[in-house]
């Protein structure tokens, strides 16, 4: 399964604005996208509240995953850029 391991570098972690962007991007994809934290908590990126409840902060390690598709790698790149912009 295509995935991205990243360290959250946004100043305020996964607060409302980046989470809303993650959900918007995930919903534009036909397959489910999941977000998993280092402690193993996993949520579907279709719910802003579920992601917000994870309490992700700057420096946390997360994994984004989605089933293989023609657009999976591009989507994971876009999602990664939201939480860990270069």
Q: Which of 61, 20, 58 is nearest to 40 (CA)?
A: 61
Q: d(Cα 66, Cα 12) in Å, to the nearest integer?
A: 25
Active site residues: 15
User: Using an 8 Å Cβ cutoff, are 84 and 6 in contact?
Assistant: yes
């Amino acid at each position: 399964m295509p995935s991205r391991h990243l360290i959250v570098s946004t100043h305020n972690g996964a607060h409302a604005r980046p989470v809303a962007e993650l959900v918007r991007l995930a919903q534009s994809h036909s397959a489910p996208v999941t977000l998993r934290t280092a402690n193993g908590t996993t949520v579907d990126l279709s719910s802003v509240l579920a992601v917000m409840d994870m309490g992700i902060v700057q420096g946390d390690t997360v994994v984004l995953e989605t089933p293989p598709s023609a657009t999976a790698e591009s989507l994971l790149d876009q999602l990664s850029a939201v939480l860990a912009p270069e």
